[in-house]
Amino acid sequence: MATAWNETRSGAVMGGAILVVEDEPAIQELIAVNLEHAGHQVLRAANVSEAEALVREVLPDLVLLDWMLPGPPGVNFARQLRADQRTKDIPIIMLTARAQEQDTIVGLESGADDYVTKPFSPRELLARIKAVMRRRAPQLTERTSSRSRTSGSIRSRIASAPPAATSISDRPSSGCCTSS
């Protein structure tokens, strides 16, 4: 049962299933709308334990992982995925308000494939996703390419979201996340 998703990786799922781990509902929604519009199936989690539960059921084709989450930080989940034989190959893109070099290094060392700093444009995020998926599963991206348009209306809706909202839940000052 848990391997069913794996079997569809060759393309049965249109653009691939993406697990979005983001605690801020508005950001989660904006990301999900864009991904669905681009042909992806979206699985949503608001914290690491929800994400763990989802991954036990299905293997996503990619994980978008917020760094600052209530409870364990996203970087811990990235390390968990990489440490588990079943999940070690799932591409991970970290989302974070942290832009300092040291944080980037910690994120990438935890096993993330890429790193997107908030606030980011949905267009940039989709481009990063596509690039990471192309590296990991070329045939999947080719199938997706004709569907990856984002309509002007949605794009402008996302673009008009106040940048401040994208970092409300991210408080670098808490300093909770750089140690293991």
Alpha-carbon span 139 to 146, nearest angstrom? 13
Alpha-carbon span 127 to 132, nearest angstrom? 9
Tell me the closest approach of the beta carbon of residue 73 to Ca ion, in angstroms.
Answer: 9
Tell me the closest approach of the beta carbon of residue 167 to Ca ion, in angstroms.
Answer: 8
What 3-state class would DSSP assign to 58?
coil
- N-term to C-term CA, the chain: 32
What is the phi/psi pair of residue 101, to 5°? -55, -40
The residues of the shown chain that bind Ca ion, judged by CB under 5 A, are 23, 66, 68, 169-170
By C-beta, is 87 or 169 nearer to Ca ion?
A: 169
By C-beta, is 39 or 120 nearer to Ca ion?
A: 120
Q: Which residue is nearest to Ca ion (CB)?
A: 169
By C-beta, is 70 or 149 nearer to Ca ion?
A: 70
Tell me the closest approach of the beta carbon of residue 22 to Ca ion, in angstroms.
Answer: 6
